[in-house]
Structure 1
C-alpha cells in the first residue's frame, strides 16, 4: 500500500513541480525545485504521507521508498551478461553526514556485497544532477561532491527527477543541522 501511495504522490508532486514534465537527458534538481509556499506544501505532503512531524524523517523515508521503487533489479537487465540486484538505502550517520548503503546481489547466487559511503554535506551544492541516457536501462544520479556516478536506478525520467529532488531537499535539511 505504501508503494502505491509513494508512486501516486511522486507522480502528483512531479507534475505539479514540473508543470507537465521534462525529457532532457541531463537534468538538475534545481530545475525542478519548488520555492516558498510550494516547498512548504511539498514537505507538508511528505510529512503527512509518512506520518511524522520531522522533515528529515519524511525526506529519508521518501528517498528510501523511491530508491526501493526504482531499484535496478536483475529481472530488468535482460541481455546483460552478469545481472544483479542493486539496492541503496540512505541514513544519517552523524550531523551533516549522509550514509549511503549499497547492496548488490547476483541473480543466481546467495552472495551479497555491501558497501557504505559517507557523504559530508557541508559545503556541497545540494542540487543533485542526473542523467538518463536514451540507450540503456539506468539513470545515474551524480555525486554532489565531485560529479562522479553515485546512484544507479532504473531508467525512469520522472522517478529520477523525484529522487533527485527528494535527496536535494534532504541534503539541504542536513546542511541546516
Structure 2
C-alpha cells in the first residue's frame, strides 16, 4: 500500500514537473538535467514535503524512497538467511552524508546497525545503480569508489528515482 501511494505521489510530482518544464533542446538534454528541469524537480519536492528548504526536501524524499523500496525478508523467498535491510540518510559535517543501515533477521530478534560516513567533496555526484535480472535486489554504488552503498528491492523505476534524488542531494551537500 505504501509503495503504491509513494509511486502515485512521485508520478504526480514528476508529471506536473514535466508539464511545467520549458522545452529543452537536444543539445541540452544530452548533457544531463537542464537547470530548468532541475529547478522544477526541486520545486515539486519542496511542494510535496511542505518546506522551502531544498536540502530538507531532498533528505525527506530520499528517506521516503528508502522506506518504500527497502529490501524486506518477505521478498527473499527461497533464501537461507532472509533479512530486512533498512536505510536512512542524514546530513553530517559539511560535505558529508551519513548513511545508517539496519539489518534485521527474519524473526526480528537479530539486529545489526552500521553507520557510514560518505565524504562528498571532490566526487562526481552521479549515483550509479545496477538491477541484475537474475537477482531480487538493486545495488546503488558509492560515488567515491564505486563500491556497493546500499541495497534495495529490485525495482528499476524505484532505483532510478532514488539514484536521481541521491545525486541531487549530493550536489546540494557539496555546496557546504
SS at match of 2:139: strand
Residues matched between the structures, number: 166
Shift in Å, 1:9? 3.3
TM-score, normalization by structure 2? 0.86
1:102 aligns with 2:101: yes
Residues 31/135 of structure 1: CA separation in 2 closer, same or farther (3 Å cut): farther
Residues 17/31 of structure 1: CA separation in 2 closer, same or farther (3 Å cut): farther
Q: Greater CA radius of gyration, 1 or 2?
A: 2
Match for residue 154 of structure 2? 155
1:122 aligns with 2:113: no
Match for residue 25 of structure 1? none
Task: For 2:133 and 2:16, locate their aligned partners in 1 and report how far apart those are by CA, in whole Å.
Answer: 25
SS at match of 2:92: strand
- CA RMSD across the alignment: 2.4
The residue correspondences of 1:127-138 to structure 2 (distance < 5 A) are: 127-138=126-137
Structure 2 unmatched runs, 5+: 19-28
Q: Deviations over 1:50-74 (max 9, x none)?
A: 0100000000000000000000000
SS at match of 1:94: coil
The answer (yes or no) to whether the contact 1:92–1:99 under 8 Å persists in 2 is yes
Match for residue 60 of structure 2? 61
The answer (yes or no) to whether the contact 1:17–1:34 under 8 Å persists in 2 is no
SS at match of 1:152: strand
Match for residue 145 of structure 1? 144
